[in-house]
Amino acid sequence: MISRKDEPFSRSIQNYLKVIYSHTRENRPVSTLGLAEALDVKPASVTNMLQKLDEFEPRLVNYQKHHGVSLTEDGEKEALRVIRRHRLIEQFLYEVLGYSWDRVHSEAEELEHVISPYFEDRLAEFLGEPAFDPHGEPIPNRDLEVTQDESIIPLSLLPVGKKAVVRRVTAGPQELLAYLGEIGLHPGKGVEVVERNPLDGTSRVLVDGMEKFFGVGVTGAVFVSVAE
């Protein structure tokens, strides 16, 4: 039983919680190996940290030896706090300081651990309480509620010929993001699949008046909503 002492969680702990959160959005309990990769840390270090996290008071994760971890209510709250800061900062860097959207992530990854609650509030206010970050990811509000639009689908599933609007571009490798930005594939832009290879899913896509070719690696990471 480790007491909380009212100190903020360490930067390491915050990173762990955030990664556990995003990974459990998809496949339930996360594996040690998965965390190790995402955090760029060796598996033994992950086990170590999970054991600590598991005996925090109040408990932040549910950890079962050899069966992965998931977040408790409290762990999820904290993860969402970090994510809110991260995305607010990204939005600030993009809108105010003129960063390109492929540069915002690494900077936010550091700042998210350092700004005070007061800074967070002032920044959110200054930005006009934004609901989305530059990649189209939802920013949890002050009460940590996340608005998740149900009606969005990956571009890989958009039927040929249907017009759609880009809603979210999930951060892949920095260079990919840079490229997609250059060709104008941003949230809000219209897109249409003009042809799709039935074998490997490769698509010809009309974006910003130009035709481009994407594999499923790309079309699976771009989310769109079909124009009504």
Measured from the CB of residue 97, what is the shortest distance to a second copy in angstroms?
Answer: 4
> Under rule CB under 7 A, which residues in 43-82 are in contact with DNA?
43-52, 63, 65-66, 68
Measured from the CB of residue 7, what is the shortest distance to a second copy in angstroms?
Answer: 14
> Under rule CB under 5 A, which residues in 109-128 are in contact with Mn ion?
109
The answer to whether the Cα torsion of 108, 112, 116, 120 is positive or negative is positive
Q: Is 26 helix (H, G, I), strand (E, B) or coil?
A: coil
Using rule CB under 7 A, residue 158 touches DNA: no
One residue of 8, 24, 31, 153 binding DNA per CB under 7 A: 31
One residue of 68, 133, 138, 203 binding Mn ion per CB under 5 A: 133
Using rule CB under 8 A, residue 116 touches a second copy: yes
Spatial distance between the Cα atoms of 40 and 53, rounded to a whole number of angstroms = 18
Taking Cα atoms as reference points, which of 101, 92, 94, 99 lies closest to residue 178? 101
Measured from the CB of residue 25, what is the shortest distance to a second copy in angstroms?
Answer: 27
Complex with DNA: residue 72 or 100, whichever CB lies closer: 72
Spatial distance between the Cα atoms of 167 and 137, rounded to a whole number of angstroms = 8
Taking Cα atoms as reference points, which of 201, 184, 185, 205 lies closest to residue 193? 205
C-alpha 82: how far from its chain's center?
11
Measured from the CB of residue 106, what is the shortest distance to DNA in angstroms?
Answer: 16
Using rule CB under 8 A, residue 198 touches a second copy: no
Quick check: 50 and 61 in contact, CB under 8 A? yes
Q: Which does 138 bind (CB under 5 to 8 A by kind): a second copy, DNA, Mn ion, none?
A: none
Q: Which does 4 bind (CB under 5 to 8 A by kind): a second copy, Mn ion, DNA, none?
A: none
One residue of 126, 208, 213, 215 binding a second copy per CB under 8 A: 126
Quick check: 125 and 156 in contact, CB under 8 A? no
Angle 94-95-96 from CA coordinates, rounded to 5°: 100
Quick check: 84 and 54 in contact, CB under 8 A? no
Instruction: Catalog residues that contact DNA under the rule CB under 7 A.
Output: 10-13, 15, 31-34, 40-52, 63, 65-66, 68
Instruction: Catalog residues that contact a second copy under the rule CB under 8 A.
Output: 93, 96-99, 103, 107, 110-111, 114-116, 118-119, 122-123, 126
